[in-house]
Amino acid sequence: MIHNITIDEFLKQASTLPLVDVRTPAEYLHGRILGAYNVALFTNEERVQVGTTYKQVGREQAILLGFDYVGPRWSGYIRQCLDIAPDKRIAVHCWRGGMRSGAMAWALNLYGFDVYLVQGGYKAYRRWCHRQFARSYNLHMLGGMTGSGKTRMLQLLQAAGQQVVDLEDLAQHQGSAYGTMNRLVQPTQEQFENNLAWRLQYLDTSQPLWLEDECQMIGKRCIPLPLWQQMRVAPLIDLQVPTEQRVASLVQEYGSLDPDFLIESTERIHKRLGPEQTKNAIAAIREGCMTDFIRIVLVYYDKTYRKGLERRNAGLIRALPVNGLPTEADMHNLVNIAATYIAVSTAPGGKS
């Protein structure tokens, strides 16, 4: 039997209902619903040919061409879906809930599957994603200069049961010129948004949500504007860590990376560092003087961070001195600040 369901109806049962994406491999790689399996009805090249035929000749000829391509492959598709859903209960989608998913649903239904056809397809999921970014969140921003241990603090908060979204983890980038760490590969912008929306859907908007204070761009990925705008006006706790500790932490984190990678990354910010500082930083890398290299680039990153703070409402910024790596005690202080200072400063009639 074929059941027509909305994207919201699918998401409510996504944990127990396997999902098959019948779009091409290229479409799937560009952006997909988390957990979806790709059982491509057409190859990338076949889809182009069918689309061209549809535009230049007509719908019926395009349908016939499509059946010419997939005719011998139906049994293979069914076997793939049996591997995915042995109990024969499965959801199917294509780009916008059109002929591709309809054809797959027909074949699976004929075989005896209980098929849930997602209306509007992947396009409906993308609209759903944008709705998640537009929701109003109770944001608490975690700031601090480079090397302040913000990621460590977020991990402590999450372990303590606080709501946390690690944007850098989702973007697969540490948020600086060196942010790929010479190993991370960023998802497409579309997939970054898909993964972020998937994470946001489970949150209680009445409870605090902790995010790291980020630039809108994390590497080459852009935080969706509606969420970014909320981040810029949310209360912020500024971790203040002694410079020597930050330098030591960054040397430990970046000092073992490939020197060629560090030099190439430094050259990308030469206009912001300035010619003399760029030259000195590269020389330090080549000589293995990682502490000197970190000190040089921190001048730029610290200046950038301070400028960002200046563009915020000073009344919504609270400093939290942290000595060394963030500890559970620091985390509890952070939560207490959020529960008192932030609540008072954002309440009607509160000070700001």
Task: Please identify every residue annotated as catalytic.
Answer: 94
CA dihedral 78, 79, 83, 85 (to 10 degrees): 20
Query: What residues form DSSP beta bridges with 21?
Result: 38, 93
Please state at what angle helix 259-268 crosses helix 275-286, rounded to 10 degrees: 180
Number of other CB atoms surrounding residue 291 within 10 Å: 14
Task: Give backbone dihedrals phi and psi of 180, rounded to 5 degrees, phi first.
Answer: -75, -15
Query: What residues form DSSP beta bridges with 93?
Result: 21
Give CA–CA dist 130/194, Å, rounded: 9
Length of the chain: 352
Biggest CA–CA distance in the chain, Å, is 71
Q: Check if the beta carbon of residue 222 is closer than 8 Å to that of residue 189.
A: yes
